[in-house]
Amino acid sequence: MKRFALHILAAALLFGAILPWAPHQRLTAAGEEQAILQSDHEFVRAVTKDDKTTLAKLLDEDFTWTNAAGKTITRAQVLSSVPTSPMGDESAAKIEHRDYGQVVAILSAREKIHVLRVWVKRGANWRLLVYHEVSQADTAQSQSGTSVKDCENPCKSVPFQPKNESEQAVIAAWQALETGVTNHDASAWSPHVDESFVTVSSSSDHPVFKADRIATLNLQKQTGYPSAPAPLVSAQMFDFGNTIVMTCLHQPYHGKPVHVTRVWLKRNGQWVMTISYQTTIQGEPAK
């Protein structure tokens, strides 16, 4: 335990303020957590220094960067012209490290700016798969609903073909979850969401945790106003055993499309969502 505590302290010195994770979440091999944190530190430094050589070593072949305006670019585009991160060197950021075994999520935040970085293990190496920015609103947008009662997509069908049983199970869990949202049924929604669940959206003014979402669903049930979730346009899944990373494009019934990154975990044989980062794509027309 003393050695583990020293790793936490070392990470805090590297990144500034850090939000500790529960000991049971530490699933990577002994000693690897510090190597992952060091790689993340190197990524942040490489972005601030425009160091393309280091970035080339750290970015996964499927890497994508989504900025606060919702624009998503590829690894090749990043290495051609390194974007500027709104977090800078992250010396003033609060950072949480979530360890899921072959996937490690870094949640970085400063005031209204949030960044999700998803590291994945490819063979013996750790690579950055997802960088996702969210700039939260100064005030929350109206939660009056969408006026749409029936949820065909994604509740009953989605424009995505699962490649294996795990992906199929994630889709089934997600459809059950979104059916619960449509019906304002917290008891139907809750089993498909991990206790550590957090959603960070550019349409909200603060991160939303599981208890917050349950309270909102219960309130919506009282008002009864229709609020079917945004239909799925496209999706990709990256399967890492007990963890699946899901990147999606949604088109709400009203407004601009939204880019979403979700992380799913297999807990006690069931797939549950633990992270959802959602950024409105400002450069696209509103529906």
Does the residue 86 lie in any domain?
yes
One domain, residues 273 and 191: yes
**Two tokens, residue 25:** 């979440």
Q: Whole-model pTM above 0.85? A: yes
Domain ranges, residue 66: 2-135
Strand 94-99 to 103-110 pairing? antiparallel
From CA 268, how far away is CA 257, in angstroms rounded? 34
**Two tokens, residue 183:** 């019906």
Is residue 33 predicted with pLDDT exceeding 90?
no
One domain, residues 263 and 185: yes
pLDDT tens digits, one per residue of 99-112: 999 999 999 999 99
Does the residue 145 lie in any domain?
no
One domain, residues 178 and 237: yes
Does the residue 152 lie in any domain?
no
* Domain end residue (candidates: 96, 119, 135): 135
pLDDT tens digits, one per residue of 112-139: 999 999 999 998 899 999 999 999 998 8
Does the residue 157 lie in any domain?
no
One domain, residues 11 and 130: yes
pLDDT at 210: 98
One domain, residues 24 and 131: yes
Binned at pLDDT 50, 70 and 90, residue 97 comes out as very high
CATH of the domain at 60: 3.10.450.50
